[in-house]
Amino acid sequence: MLGMEGNQEFSTNIQRNCVVRGHHFDALDERVRHLLLSAHKALATAYAPYSKFFVGAALLLENGKVILGSNQENAAYPSGLCAERTALFAAGVQENGVSVLAMAIVVARSDGAELAPAFPCGSCLQVLMEVERRQKTPVKVYLKGTGQQVYEADGVSVFLPFGFDPSAFS
């Protein structure tokens, strides 16, 4: 193989517990439903004239505050920003040092089309992973589309099992 001269092949079995649970919205506890409804309210502040894909995010902080974010597109792509990162960065400014307990992400289209829950992009997952590392606790993630189905994950490693971490710098 090209570039493999003198190298020995090896393999490893890496297993991760990547479980996403599904729930009906009405079966969730009051606090989670409130967080999802807050993310839904954030949809109204999304600016998505190009993709027509609106995303609202809501963070529940350890002090009980809820921080909202929405996607903000720009004609000069990639100058826009996703809802998850706008919420995470706003929390970092407004409530610096306060842990994020949970994040709710809700998606909708301007044409009213049915959408399944959508997973965060890699950049948002990487930022969320950094938040988890900094606070030394995972962030629960709740995802909702236009229906009543909600996905729940116990942290970002479910979606990004091999994220970039500080060990790359050592």
Quick one: pLDDT band at residue 1, thresholds 50, 70, 90? very low
d(CA 109, CA 22): 22
Q: Is residue 5 flagged as an active site residue?
A: no
Mean pLDDT of 22-51: 97
Of 73, 74, 64, the C-alpha closest to 38 is 64
Task: Fold for 21-160, please state it.
Answer: Cytidine Deaminase; domain 2 (3.40.140)
**Per-residue model confidence (pLDDT) at position 77:** 84
Instruction: Indicate which residue of 84, 114, 132, 152 is catalytic.
Output: 84
Q: How far apart are the first and last CA of the chain?
A: 29
Residues 118-163 pLDDT 10s = 999 999 999 999 999 999 999 999 999 999 999 999 999 888 887 8
Mean pLDDT of 82-107: 98
Domain layout of the chain by residue ranges: 21-160
Peptide bond preceding 161: is omega within 30 degrees of 0, i.e. cis? no
90-96 CB contacts, 8 Å cutoff, 24+ apart: 91/59, 91/61, 91/67, 94/67, 95/61, 95/63, 95/65, 95/67
Q: Which two tokens stand for residue 84?
A: 């998850």
CB atoms under 10 Å from CB of 115, counted, come to 16
